[in-house]
Amino acid sequence: MSSPIRVVVTGAAGQIAYSLLYQIAKGDVFGADQPIILHLLDIPPMMEVLGGVVMEIIDLALPLVTEIVPTADPAVAFKEVEAAFLVGAMPRKQGMERKDLLSANVKIFKVQGEALDKYAKKTVKVLVVGNPANTNALVCSKYAPSIPRENFTAMTRLDQNRGRAQIAERLKVNVGQVANVIIWGNHSATQVPDANSATVDLGSGPLPVSEALKNDEWLKGEFITTVQKRGAAVIAARKMSSAVSAAKAAGDHMHDIWHGTLPGQFVSMGVISDGSYGAPQDVIFSFPVTIENKEWKIVQGLQIADYHKPLLEATGKELLEEKAEALEVCEH
């Protein structure tokens, strides 16, 4: 057994964390032989609930969990951590404008950025799940200047998983046969799901999804809108936001940072933009990436369809607007 690593989950008494903690504790994320010290952060009013979560983790009787540290203090939560799942954020309530959500959450991520800067290991890998995830990740990294910006990523893996699942369902194949679906841009309704580089293995090796589907209209229309609106559809049906699927996607995202991507495959995540594919620079933009030795690299040279270009522009514009709003909130 290797020595334990410290992993923090924020919003640890919440819905997403409830599913995520089991995956982490069981070894699905960091590996079946990687012991974990779990740091669980939540706000003071949630401490009693968090106590119940701690009891359940103990009752799982999983040998990889060597210690549990429940706390409402960021200084304790982020001490010496090597991986951070920033799940805790104010959820969007009915009648709430995105702008209101942004200003409430930006303050949370400013504080957490400062705490990471002060207490976490400089190699820490930070995944932001709490919305608006891309801009929260940007703010967090801004207030943690001693940690490389590349170490802060935002989750668009749930959208990628949704896209793969839609294609698998349409082709009546197992989702494991579908690879390289891309999510460009923001984790919001402006995101750009793109299956033009996606492949499906029907038994004789990878085939372009567009060839297998023979339905460009669906790929240009319904596929994009279904993935964009899936979160809202889940809320409408469940009266609560996606929790199990979001937790699974967070685990997938961190697993790939830790263990790398499979040969010939790439995954989507929000990373600091270098302007690739005409995206604005210095925002957290979702790109297809490959990962090796815990370092991601944007996949270059992919074809962007003409009908995607205005969509990419719109999602980039939204991220620039969010960035401007967020920085204004931070400075006040």
At 282, which amino acid appears? D
Mean pLDDT, each 10-residue run in order, the chain (332 residues) = 94 96 98 98 97 98 98 98 95 69 88 97 97 95 98 98 97 96 96 97 92 91 95 88 94 98 97 98 98 98 96 98 92 78
Domain layout of the chain by residue ranges: 5-154, 156-322
Closest CA to 7 of 40, 48, 33, 46: 40
pTM over 0.85: yes
Give the residue ranges of the annotated binding site for NAD(+).
Answer: 42, 105, 129-131
**What would the two tokens of residue 51 be?**
């106590």
Give the residue ranges of the annotated binding site.
Answer: 42, 92, 98, 105, 129-131, 162
Q: What is the 3-state secondary structure (H, E, C) of the chain?
A: CCCCEEEEEECCCCHHHHHHHHHHHHCCCCCCCCCEEEEEECCHHHHHHHHHHHHHHHHHCCCCEEEEEEECCHHHHCCCCCEEEECCCCCCCCCCCHHHHHHHHHHHHHHHHHHHHHHCCCCCEEEECCCCHHHHHHHHHHCCCCCCHHHEEECCHHHHHHHHHHHHHHHCCCHHHEECCEEEECCCCCCEEECCCCEEECCCCEEEHHHHHCCHHHHHCHHHHHHHHHHHHHHHHHCCCCCHHHHHHHHHHHHHHHHCCCCCCCEEEEEECCCHHHCCCCCEEEEEEEEECCEEEECCCCCCCHHHHHHHHHHHHHHHHHHHHHHHHHHC
User: Which CATH number, 3.30.70.270, 3.40.190.10, 3.30.750.24, 3.40.50.720, labels domain 5-154?
Assistant: 3.40.50.720
Give the residue ranges of the annotated binding site for substrate.
Answer: 92, 98, 131, 162
pLDDT of residue 96: 66
Chain segment 271-310, per-residue pLDDT in tens: 999 999 999 999 999 999 999 999 999 999 999 999 999 9
pLDDT of residue 232: 87
Active site residues: 187
Scan for tokens 């009915």, then name that residue: 94
pLDDT of residue 94: 62
> Does domain 156-322 bear CATH number 2.30.130.10?
no
**What would the two tokens of residue 311 be?**
């969509």
pLDDT of residue 74: 96
pLDDT of residue 215: 79
Whether the CB-CB separation of 224 and 216 falls below 8 Å is answered with no
